[in-house]
Structure 1
Amino acid sequence: MVDAGPYPGTGASDTAVLEALFTQGPLGLFLLDEHLRVRRYDTSARGLRGIAAERVIGRTLGEFGSGLDTTKLAALAQETLRTGRPLLRHTLKGPATRSDEDVTVSVSIFHVDDAADGQPGVLMAVEDVTEREAARARLELLSDTYRTVGTTLDAMTTARELASVLVPALADAVAVHLLDAVLRGDPHRAGRVDAGEPLRRAAFLKGTSTHAGERDVIDGQGTVDERGTILETLSLATPFTRSLEDATPRLVSRLDADGVWPPELSEHARALAAAGVHSLMAVPLVVSDAVLGVVTLYRSGQPQPYTQQDLDLAIQVASRAALGIDHASSYARERNTAMALQRHLLPSRTPELTTVETAHLYLPVSAGGDWFDVIELSGARVGLVVGDVVGHGIEVAAMMGRLRTALRTLAELDLEPDELLTHLDEIAARLASENADADASDQHDGTPARGRVATCAYAVYDPVKRRLTLASAGHPAPLLVSPEGEVATVEVDVGPALGTAHGTYETATYGLDDGAVLCLYTDGLLAGSDEAAHTLRRVLTHQDRALSETADAIAYALADEQAEDDAVLLLARARGLSDDQAVHWDLPSDPSVVAAARALAGRQLAAWGLEAITFETELIISELVTNAIRYGEGPVSLRLIRDRHLTCEVTDGSNTSPHMRRAHDTEEGGRGLYLVMSMSYRWGTRYAARGKTVWSQQSLPSRTE
């Protein structure tokens, strides 16, 4: 202990106590007078070792200060001197004797009075807590990392979170580069990463202490592509590329001539040094021996260089970030696969029909189960479908494909919309049960769960009768736009969603004028927003546009980058057939009427200019009318429809289905339906509440198409 002289009023025991405190205690002690000049001090205090006593005694803290903010210390001491209130454990940080090292101290200040002359003073206790604060800062950084990095399944967001947690806690600037394959969601490849492997600058963040031009030099050369990120190939033989090649971190504690990467030997290092960088670390982002990218930490404003302890901390932070990026990449891979599957299962184009003009809009977001379809039915009718499978992912896309296939099959059986949805509900329930059986976690007491699998709206437009029939299974109500542009909600009883296995559905029937537009959509288009619903109605009022332009306008108005669900829109503008495109005759149930039916058909084909297919058509009509009279029930009717194809329909009152079989060589009959099939483009049977219609569809001669 250094003493300015005898301290009046102290006995031997007091002196012994002071001697112990000033020489054996863990704290640095300073006894200051009312002018904040040092009266006594502990010579073992950090920063004062080896300093002569005359440079300390009688001087203020600012005259021999150890690099801490002595102005702040003096102000704190003056406050205690003035008020008499002690200051306990106040933390200060500043450079120590060496300029490249910071020291953190905890300062406590107490008011004291000189017993002899009554002059006040203060006792200042200084504790070196540098290591403790450093450990606390490391723990806080790791805590922030686990709390904030990897919060989303997006690799770019995770990279930005990583940069944010490192600046300024551990770096003045941070750059995160990820392999382009990782962002695409490609399968990871273990082993080395070549220096020429394309990377994307996923994140860059600099603190306030970095130089203005630093960003331009620390990331190398790159170009911005259509994704808005920098596509780069880092320079050869740098700490960054070396880390990528062998998945080992690199520490460049000093970026100078004495370091492992001297600026005079590397243009990149020279540019970094010129920008103010004096120390850096390159830490690869590694998961299961696969390198995903590299994070580079730079120091320019903070004077102390990086140490091995800093590198160990950066490795822990990077490990956590790499796990989040790996999860994001896996999600991107599954999402890309699901979206590719979904696109493959959706129709590549809708059929070009004369009875309806259609346009569709598909806005993929998260590989959901939204789908649409336009199905050409018998009798020039058209089936219009929009559906939405609950959930996202590959399984949902596969479920969507199976439901769409099932619906097309049911539609081509010419089922009414309510009957079709009833069958589709049963199919959806069975598919859900199969999925539940495949995944034991979805089972409850051994019973596969059944529930809401999908929603669907199915409509059939008949251009001959100019009539629309539709049914809904838990789906948003369609909109109907009149030729004048008035928008109304289609009133239909909405049945349960598909998958309950006991759904019952009702149909609604509307007459459609030529030019009316039916608008079917999934709930992702509006996302429950009243404003979006109003916008959709406003855009639909413009009936002077082609439907493709209307679909574009809706996309421009409603597409949302923040949307969480896919969206599908299907527009269909009605075009009814004219009176001379469909003819109908009621026939007596008598075999002699077959010849009359052929004659009627022949005259009509001549009127339509279709003499080239008269023979085949008369033969088809003969077989269909004969079967209706022989095996069916009256009344019997014949209808011809000329559209893109020629359709012949024979209706009778029986529900007995015609059965085609292969006749043996010795049999005289049994070849009628085979002849119908061989001369038809398509053929089939359509059932009504009472009776059935057997129809045949023929291609028109090319000159009339």
Structure 2
Amino acid sequence: MSAASSHVGPGSAAFDALVTAVLDGEGTVVRWSRAAAELLGYDATEVCGRPVRDLLADGSGGACPPARGSVRLNRRQGGAVEVAYRAFRLAESAESLVVAAPNRRAGAEDLGASLVRALFSQDAIGVVVHGPDLALLHAGGLPAMPGGAPVPPGARLRDFLVPEDADDIEASLRQVLESGAPLIGGEKRMRSPLAPGRERFLRMSAVRLEDEDGRPMGVAAFFTYATGAQRARSHLDLLREAAIRVGGSLDVARTAQELAETIVPGIGDLGIVDLAEAVLTGDEPPHRSGGGDLHLRAVASATGQWPGRVRKGDALPPLPDHPSLRTLQRGKTIVMTRDELLAVLGDRSAAEALLPEAWHSLMIAPLYARGSMLGDLQVWRVADPEPFTREDTDLVTQIASRGALAIDNARRYTREHRAAVALQQSLLPRATTDTPAAETAGLYRPAGGGAEIGGDWFDAIPLPSLRLALVVGDVAGRGLRATVAMGRLRAAIHTLADLEPDPGELLTRLDALVQRLAAEVPAEIRDTVTAACLYVVYDPVTCQCMIASAGQLPPVVVRPDGTEQEIRISPGPPLGVGGMPFEVTTVEVEPGSLIALHTKGLVIGGDRDLDAGLRRLTDSLRARSRTPLRDTGRAVLGDLGELPRGEDVTLLLTRTRAVQGDHIASWDFPADLRIVAEAREKITRQLAAWGLDELSFTTELVVSELVTNAVRYAGGPVGLRLIREDVLVCEVTDPGNTQPRLRQAGSTDEGGRGLFLVAQLTSRWGCRYGQTGKTIWTEQPLDGSDPAIG
């Protein structure tokens, strides 16, 4: 549409004497038509940018003329000319279109002819005349419209504009044609399929053309450019979008992707983000100056396309030392043409590896944050033929600066998260254990979706007499504080477990510990120091589980035949609340059963309620009741699908075992010292039956000392039990509650050496208390090795 049709039609002489100009809101001339130059003798370069009052012959008038009137204008060749004028305010703009004609020819017909002649001869205002069918009769004054070829009479807007834009403009023209009401300053977008990637925004005014009888003859449309204002608004929109869009994630790669997508297609055709390798792992980027291997990797592309042979994750080749590179490393944005960049690279292979095809302009903005260069943001122009402007450079620099802070925040989080995960993993036990009581496998998955590490843990603690303690817990809160609290609680549970209290007593003592921990932290976060915990003790001799809960869900139990065993418990409050007891529930569990302890994140969250989550977990366990535990755990997590993004997930699987009946021997004796010899005799015969004669001597000594002390200090009845598995367990039970103490007897003391002797003859020993007494137990290795050495 850059070429105009010369055909105007009858009556064109009426517009010959009209002159036009465009004034801004301060009365400064911003457009000056050829007719105005011919009338006054001043061309556009002499007038544009000057106040219109400088042209007034009498020097009168304010900054902006009134809407209509007559004034005298100075002529360059001397003298003045009086003109009648009218000013038309352009919609959504402070600018005004001024149409004037000398008073001596201001008749209606002459004015019309002058107006047409002036409008068709100037370039500041685009003029397009449409016939009744909206076919083009004339198009002129729009050299920047896409296409470039002359517009033949009878063409339609669809012939050179994209259908969407053509339909929008024709709809507005048709409304003017049908209603007769003028359109003033409507903003229109113009894009052409002949110039992909380019678009122009123009303000359109339109009036209906009528014959002498008032019948519609067509529509005249007048265009002024709005691209500058539109570009400013687009830049503000991009800044606003960058502020909203970039930085919502704490994942480095995802943040880089958000940054790349922000600048395409608003500024360029291709957006790429490269980051230092150290940034991707959360470390500080190295401080580099000059060329060489900068250890950069391609991380994000706005369109999924990559320049040259570079692909996502690839390391960038070494770059030559160059002043432009050093400028970039000092934190300044650089802009280069194709020839300039080829001259910098020099090496043809490097150019092929790094550059896309058919590009013409490249802008590289450094991602500079907190004194470190994290990488760079590349903006390439391929289809858009316009070079980068100063405004484009300033905008990309601002967006890159904001993006760099977001990426650095994600990098710092990655470092802290990695440290917290490493700390938590170091505090967790071995993933699998294998004891006479059970086989266990624990799985832990940190919170996803950018959440901080939590305080979930699991544990399988071997207890005396072949029993096994199973634990899962969850400390409230996030970050290193929760992880450290978890480590302290786990250490406390190990210490308390060695004292062998029942699960309810252990949780009571742990509750007091959490309250003390809460008192140590600042007051503003003190109420968040709580924890949930499930503590289970499984005895392979009786095949019973003792269960107590502090705010945790009960375990899920699947029998060997694949059926579910319902477990009902009465959970107490979370640890740290205080003042409430923890009820102990005892249930029998078949050998070979699968017990699953888990934290709430495994079954609650997202769109799942508790019952649905537990059902899915149970069904998944039932389907794999006999598969290896590690495989079962991974499959269960897979079956449960997408887990809550902000929750750690912990699962402890246990497959129970039972001590065979012929591996257990027990006796009860009255409180009489004469039974000591009988007890020695019974254990000697039992050890012989088990083929453990080599342990008879030491076991007789141990039993003699323990039974003698029980009769002498606690009374009867006295229970004696031997358990044979991977160790030989000897237990002596009495009704007393006194704490046995190991001490060093003096050379003249008659007693006090019994427990010392027991400690020397066994690998370990201890005492646990029940509701009606205590049990002293010992363990000896079955291979007959020296306990002090083995």
Q: TM-score range by the shorter chain?
A: 0.7 to 0.9
Deviations 1:139-175 (A, max 9, x none): 1111111111111111122112112211101111101
1:17 equivalent in alignment to 2:84: yes
Q: Following TM superposition, by how much is the alpha carbon of 1:318 offset from its aligned partner in structure 2, in angstroms? A: 0.7
CA–CA distance in 2 between the matches of 1:640 and 1:194?
76
Q: 2:327 & 2:689 partners in 1: Cα distance?
A: 79
2:117 is equivalent to residue 46 of structure 1: no
Deviation (angstroms), 1:589: 1.5
Give, in angstroms, the shift of residue 694 of structure 1: 1.2
CA gap 1:191/1:235 in 2 versus in 1, 3 angstroms: closer
Amino acid at match of 1:610: L
Q: Kindly indicate whether the alpha-carbon contact (under 8 Å) linking 2:530 and 2:576 is maintained by their aligned counterparts in 1.
A: yes
Q: Residue 184 of structure 2 aligns with which residue?
A: 88
Residue 555, structure 1, aligned to residue 633, structure 2: no
Inter-CA distance 651–175: structure 2 relative to 1 (3 Å threshold): same
**1:269-668 equivalence runs, <5 A:** 269=351, 275-366=357-448, 367-435=453-521, 437=522, 440-442=523-525, 448-449=526-527, 453-528=530-605, 529=608, 532-541=613-622, 542-558=624-640, 560=642, 563-668=645-750
> Given the alignment, which residue of 27, 47, 68 partners 2:97?
27
Kept after mapping to 2: 8 A contact 1:591/1:629: yes
Contact 1:428 1:499 in 2 (8 A): yes
| Partners of 2:432 and 2:215 in 1: CA distance | 101
Tell me the distance in 1 between the aligned counterparts of 2:354 and 2:286: 31
Q: Percent identity?
A: 36
Contact 1:610 1:701 in 2 (8 A): no
- Please tell me the residue identity of whatever aligns with 2:664: A
**Shift in alpha-carbon separation, 1:265–1:62, aligned structure 2, 3 A:** farther
Give the whole-Å Cα distance in 2 for the aligned partners of 1:311 and 1:518: 63
TM-score under structure 2 length normalisation: 0.76
Taking the aligned partners of 1:477 and 1:137, their CA distance within structure 2 comes to 58
Contact 1:425 1:503 in 2 (8 A): no
Residue 217 of structure 1 aligns with an amino acid whose one-letter code is P
Distance 1:106 1:555, change over 3 A: same
2:307 aligned with 1:217:
yes
In the alignment, the residues of structure 2 paired with residue 469 and residue 75 of structure 1 have an alpha-carbon distance, to the nearest angstrom, of 80
Deviations 1:481-522 (A, max 9, x none): 122211133111111111112231111111222222222111
**What is the SS of the residue equivalent to 1:347?**
coil
Supply the distance in 2 between the matched residues of 1:693 and 1:502 (Cα, whole angstroms): 30
Separation (CA, whole Å) in 2 of partners of 1:497 and 1:454 = 6
Alpha-carbon distance in 2 for matches of 1:385, 1:109: 80
Where do residues 62-101 of structure 1 align in structure 2 (5 Å cutoff)? 62=139, 65-68=142-145, 71=157, 80-92=176-188
Partner of 2:154: none
Superposed, 1:80-159 pairs within 5 Å as 80-92=176-188, 104-111=201-208, 125-159=222-256
Distance in 2, matches of 1:34 and 1:300, equals 46
Cα pair 2:86 2:98 within 8 Å, conserved: no
Instruction: Determine the C-alpha separation between the residues in 2 that align with 1:409 and 1:637.
Output: 27
Distance of aligned partners of 1:28 and 1:94 in 2 relative to their CA distance in 1, 3 Å threshold: farther
SS in structure 2 at match of 1:536: helix
Task: Render the CA deviation track for 1:358-416: whole Å, top value 9, x for unaligned.
Answer: 23322233532221111111122111111122233211111111111111111111110
CA contact (8 A) 2:427 2:487 kept: yes
| TM-score, normalization by structure 1 | 0.84
Q: Is the 8 A contact 2:671 2:717 kept in 1?
A: yes
The Cα shift of 1:12 comes to: 9.4
Contact 1:194/1:245 (8 A) holds in 2: no
RMSD: 4.0
Q: Greater CA deviation, 581-590 or 404-413?
A: 581-590
Distance between the aligned counterparts of 1:267 and 1:30, measured in 2? 64
Is the partner of 2:681 in helix, strand or coil? helix
Deviation per CA, 1:611-632, whole angstroms, max 9, x where unpaired? Answer: 2222221221122122212222
Deviation at 1:46, TM superposition (A): 3.1
1:175 paired residue number = 272
Matching residue of 1:184: 281
Could you tell me which amino acid in structure 2 is paired with residue 41 of structure 1?
L
Runs (5+) with no aligned partner, structure 2? 1-10, 19-67, 72-81, 102-108, 127-135, 152-156, 158-165
Contact 1:641 1:648 in 2 (8 A): yes
- Residue 43 of structure 1, CA deviation: 6.3
1:342 and 1:185 mapped to 2: Cα distance? Answer: 18
Counterpart of 2:511, as a letter, is D
Counterpart position of 1:198: 295
Change (3 A) 1:5 1:85: same
Q: Distance in 2 between matches of 1:665 and 1:244?
A: 86
The structure whose Rg is larger is 2
Letter in 2 for 1:536: L
Q: Is the 8 A contact 2:207 2:221 kept in 1?
A: yes
Instruction: Report if aligned partners of 1:29, 1:126 keep a CA contact under 8 Å in 2.
Output: no
Counterpart of 1:430, as a letter, is R
Q: 1:342 to 1:272 in 2, by over 3 A?
A: closer
Q: Which amino acid aligns with 2:392?
A: D
Distance in 2, matches of 1:243 and 1:472, equals: 63
User: C-alpha distance in 1, partners of 2:70/2:216?
Assistant: 22
Counterpart residue type for residue 557 of structure 1:
D
CA distance in 1 between partners of 2:619 and 2:198 (Å): 67
Distance 1:64 1:42 in 2: 8
Q: Give the whole-Å Cα distance in 2 for the aligned partners of 1:162 and 1:434.
A: 42
- The structure-2 alpha-carbon separation of the partners of 1:386 and 1:12, relative to structure 1 and needing over 3 Å to count, comes to closer
Write the distance in 1 (CA, Å) between the matches of 2:425 and 2:441: 17
Are the counterparts in 1 of residues 247 and 407 from structure 2 also a CA contact under 8 Å? yes
Give the drift of 1:278. Answer: 0.5
In structure 1, give the amino acid aligned to 2:402: R
**Aligned partners of 1:382 and 1:12: how far apart in 2?**
103
Q: Does the Cα contact within 8 Å between 2:456 and 2:648 map onto a contact in 1?
A: yes
Distance 1:13 1:115, change over 3 A: farther
Aligned residues between the structures: 667
Q: Which whole-Å CA distance do the structure 1 matches of 2:626 and 2:578 have between them?
A: 43
**Structure 1 position 232 matched with structure 2 position 330:** no
Question: Shift of the alpha carbon at 1:254?
Answer: 2.4
**Is the CA contact (8 Å cut-off) linking 1:30 and 1:123 kept in structure 2?**
no
Q: Assess, with a 3 A threshold, how the Cα gap between structure 1 residues 571 and 116 changes in structure 2: closer, same or farther.
A: closer
Conserved 8 A contact 1:68-1:92: no
In structure 2, the CA distance between the partners of 1:122 and 1:362, relative to structure 1 (3 Å rule), is closer
Instruction: Tell me by how many angstroms 1:535 deviates.
Output: 3.2
2:86–2:100: 8 Å Cα contact kept in structure 1?
A: no
Going from structure 1 to structure 2, the CA distance change for 1:606 and 1:548 (only over 3 Å counts) comes to: same
